[in-house]
């Protein structure tokens, strides 16, 4: 049965070399992760039951394209998140970089933002060392709403309140496992609409007023 949190005590009844299934957004505590590694317990991520809203949940991931890009500081985390996205049935559009040689984060932030703004991708992910510069660069592209997220609360808020279509990560600031949890929750969370739609519309109006002729 999928859990929202997997703890050390949850693994006590799992035999060494066994397997436990959790949903993609499950929070795995540090003690649980260490115990799973120590006893060779496989943590298997499973999709939630189908039937969620059209804009939420990995149950509706099939066919949705997610553009992802990173500079050299975010390359390793990009490669890990790509695997998770594929496991969750998203179509992954990798826009680079392809290694750890030094490159400039604005180039990749712009590429991801362009893919999202032009509807080539449903959502976007950009990673650099801190995540701040990529968010700034991506938000220069009209139609992009990039949010730097560092925990579950910021991920949920960015989707529910701001309808963020791009998430940025600081690879040197959060562990890969935390980034996985944040990304899964962010992808699953729908925009709340209502009073928040009026505010997002005002963001779009600011873009429109400042477009280059």
- Percent with pLDDT over 90 in the chain: 73
Which of 78, 66, 67 is closest to 103 using CA atoms?
78
Q: For 69-115, how does the pLDDT look when each residue is reduced to its tens digit (9 = 90+)? A: 999 999 999 999 999 999 898 999 999 999 999 999 999 999 999 99
- 63/103: higher pLDDT: 103
The verdict on whether 119 is a catalytic residue reads no
Q: What is the pLDDT of residue 48?
A: 55
SS (H, E, C) 84-110: HHHHCCCEEEECCCCCCCCCCHHHHHH
Alpha-carbon distance of 3 to 23, in angstroms, equals 7
**pLDDT at residue 10 above 60?**
yes
Instruction: Tell me the HSE value of 213 on the side-chain side, using a 13 A CA sphere.
Output: 0
**pLDDT at residue 191 above 50?**
yes
Q: Which superfamily does CATH assign the domain made up of 61-196 to?
A: Sugar-phosphate isomerase, RpiB/LacA/LacB (3.40.1400.10)
**pLDDT at residue 159 above 80?**
yes
Q: What is the pLDDT of residue 119?
A: 94
Alpha-carbon distance of 85 to 184, in angstroms, equals 9
Q: What is the pLDDT of residue 52?
A: 40
**pLDDT at residue 58 above 70?**
no
Q: For 121-140, how does the pLDDT look when each residue is reduced to its tens digit (9 = 90+)? A: 999 999 999 999 999 999 99
* Residue of 72, 119, 161, 196 marked active site: 161
Q: List every span in the chain annotated with CATH 3.40.1400.10.
A: 61-196
């Amino acid at each position: 049965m999928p859990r929202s949190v997997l703890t050390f005590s949850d693994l006590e009844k799992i035999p060494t070399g066994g397997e436990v299934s959790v949903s993609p957004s499950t929070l795995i505590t540090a003690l649980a992760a260490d115990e799973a590694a120590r006893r060779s317990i496989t943590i298997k991520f499973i999709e939630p039951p189908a039937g969620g809203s059209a804009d939420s949940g990995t149950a509706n991931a099939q066919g949705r394209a997610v553009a992802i890009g990173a500079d050299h500081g975010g390359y390793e985390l990009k490669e890990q998140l790509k695997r998770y996205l594929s496991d969750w049935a998203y179509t992954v559009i990798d826009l680079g970089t392809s290694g750890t040689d030094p490159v400039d984060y604005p180039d990749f932030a712009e590429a991801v933002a362009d893919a999202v703004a032009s509807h080539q991708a449903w959502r976007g992910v950009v990673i650099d060392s801190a995540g701040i510069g990529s968010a700034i660069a991506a938000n220069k592209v009209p139609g992009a709403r990039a949010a730097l997220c560092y925990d579950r609360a910021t991920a949920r808020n960015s989707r529910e309140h701001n309808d963020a279509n791009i998430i940025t990560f600081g690879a040197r600031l959060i562990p890969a496992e935390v980034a996985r949890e944040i990304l899964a929750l962010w992808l699953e969370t729908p925009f709340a609409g209502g009073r928040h739609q009026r505010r997002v519309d005002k963001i779009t109006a600011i873009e429109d007023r400042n477009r280059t002729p």
